[in-house]
Amino acid sequence: MKKLYIYLSALFIFSCSIESNENKIGIVIHGGAGTILKENMTPELENSYMIKLEEAIRTGYDILKNGGPSKDAVEQAIRVMEDSPLFNAGVGAVLTNDERVSLDASFMDGKNLNAGAIAGSSYIKNPISAAIAVMEESPHVLLSSKGADDFAIEKGIDTVPNSYFITERRLNSLRSLKNINNISYEDPFLKDSKYGTVGSVAIDINGNISAGTSTGGTTNKIWGRIGDVPIIGAGNYANNDCCGISATGWGEHFIRNVVAYDIAAQILYKNEDIINASKNSLDKVKATGGDGGVIGLDKNGKVTMEFNTAGMYRAHMDNDGNITIKIYKD
Ligand code: ASP
């Protein structure tokens, strides 16, 4: 009898400890923020975005639901968007001044603050996977240009010719942008041609938060311009003690305002709510003349999807599988 009592008590303690280890899972993604207005969208195009966003978020969610790590959920959700010409990442990315594609991406692991990034890659098919490989298989955090491409080849990561990434739509945007004479860097057309970056933040059953972001940067970029996306703390950040954040928008302003870390710091030092923290940081972006948006999850799975542009492609799935997919302002 005494033995049975000890056995049952042990079983009870064991099952309690399993339960307390089970965190609520969640995943959020974005496909860029900008002047996305319903009146400029055809129903077909809108539908294509909704379908792709749903495919991406469900891909990540299924991994989490099966007990998989947030790293895999973020990577696979982003790869779906990188492989779609709809977004400014991977195939369909925006073009540089010399009609090429140059890709940036980063990944951060909130468990140990490990991070990896690539910038200015010409050949990496799925930059998010290369960013993860930099984190896991190199002693560095950020590799650039030829070095990033050489690293990918050495590690057996898929590479493709630069022409693989180029689409008619992006070629037309670049050419019409170049046809505008005396363009100013404050020109709204130039500003609006910047957007379409993709990103994801996920929290898994063990409470580990991961964040990833991937982009072609800005249309007509020149002189090897690199934006906020591969800069840890600017376009991407994750820390299990507070949150994960992925940003999209006018990269120069996201670098200057260290946006992703600024949100995390408010939560860490001021115990600020993740939505308020996002609004505060986006206000700072606005104050320096920029705009854009952020997505993120805090350590309890609370979601943020804030932006100060007309729209942001975005989706969220919570622990119970409830799904939200949106493009425009509420
Ligand atoms: N933030 C990206 C960059 O400036 C662009 C974007 O989010 O669309 O490179």
Residue 7 confidence (pLDDT) above 80: no
What would the pLDDT profile of 135-144 be if each residue is shown by its tens digit?
999 999 999 9
Least confident of 167-171, 203-207, 250-254, 287-291: 167-171
Strands 142-144 and 311-317: unpaired
Report the residue among 36, 95, 228, 288 best suited for mutation to probe ligand 1: largest number of ligand atoms under 8 A from its CB: 228
Task: Starting at the earlier edge strand, list the strands of the sheet with 236-239.
Answer: 236-239, 243-249, 292-298, 303-307
Assigned domain for 7 exists: no
The answer on pLDDT for 69 being more than 50 is: yes
Total domains in the chain come to: 1
> How close is the Cα of 235 to the center of ligand 1, in Å?
8
Residue type, 189: F
Assess whether the C-beta atom of 199 lies below 6 angstroms from ligand 1: no
Q: Is 68 exposed, middle or buried (0-12, 13-18, 19+ CB in 10 A)?
A: middle
* Cβ–Cβ < 8 Å for 295, 305: yes
241-281 residue pLDDT tens: 999 999 999 999 999 999 999 999 999 999 999 999 999 99
pLDDT, tens only, 80-103: 999 999 999 999 999 999 999 999
Q: Please tell me if the CB atom of residue 218 comes closer than 6 angstroms to any atom of ligand 1.
A: yes
Q: Is the CB of 291 under 6 A from ligand 1?
A: no
Q: How far is the CA of 249 from the centre of ligand 1 (A)?
A: 5
pLDDT of residue 261: 98
Indicate whether residue 102 lines ligand 1 (CB < 6 A). Answer: no
Instruction: Write the secondary structure of the chain as one string of H (helix), E (strand) and C (coil).
Output: CHHHHHHHHHHHHHHHHHHHHCCCCEEEEEEEEECCCHHHCCHHHHHHHHHHHHHHHHHHHHHHHCCCCHHHHHHHHHHHHHCCCCCCCCCCCCCECCCCCCEEEEEEECCCCEEEEEEEECCECCHHHHHHHHHHHCCCCEEEHHHHHHHHHHCCCCECCHHHHCCHHHHHHHHHHHHCCCCCCCCHHHHHCCCCCEEEEEECCCCCEEEEEEECCCCCECCCCCCCCCCECCCEEEECCCEEEEEEECHHHHHHCCHHHHHHHHHHHHCCCHHHHHHHHHHHHHHCCCCEEEEEEECCCCEEEEECCCEEEEEEECCCCCEEEEEECC
Establish if 149 belongs to a structural domain.
Answer: no
Among residues 197, 218, 248, 304, the one annotated as catalytic is: 197
For atom 5 of ligand 1, which residue has the closest CA? 217
User: Each residue of 32-63: pLDDT tens digit?
Assistant: 998 777 777 889 989 999 999 999 999 999 99
What was the pLDDT predicted at 3?
A: 54
Expressed as residue numbers, the domain containing 286 is: 23-112+163-328
Q: What number does the ligand 1 atom closest to the CA of 226 have? A: 9
Protein residue closest via CA to atom 8 of ligand 1: 195
Q: pTM value?
A: 0.91
Annotated active-site residue 309? The verdict is: no
DSSP-assigned beta bridge partners for residue 316: 28, 324
Kindly state the average pLDDT of the residues 194-221. Answer: 94
Residue 71 lies in a domain: yes
- Does residue 31's CB lie within 6 angstroms of at least one atom of ligand 1? no
Domain assignment present for 277: yes
In a domain, 214, yes or no: yes
Pocket probe mutation, ligand 1, options 95, 193, 229, 236, max atoms within 8 Å of Cβ: 229
pLDDT at 195: 66
Report if residue 263 sits inside a domain. yes
The pLDDT assigned to 192 comes to 54
Any domain includes 140: no
Residue 177 confidence (pLDDT): 81
CB of 88 within 6 A of ligand 1: the answer is yes
pLDDT value at residue 23: 84
What pLDDT does residue 34 have?
83
pLDDT confidence tier of residue 21, bands split at 50, 70 and 90: low
CATH number at residue 255: 3.60.20.30
Domain annotation covers residue 118:
no
pLDDT band at residue 193 under the 50/70/90 scheme: low
Average of per-residue pLDDT values in the chain: 91
Q: Looking at the CA of residue 235, tell me the nearest atom of ligand 1.
A: 1
Residue 36 has what pLDDT? Answer: 75
Say yes or no: CB of residue 87 within 6 Å of ligand 1: no
229 lines ligand 1 (CB under 6 A): yes
d(CA 276, CA 263): 9
Main-chain dihedrals φ then ψ at residue 308, nearest 5 degrees: -120, 25
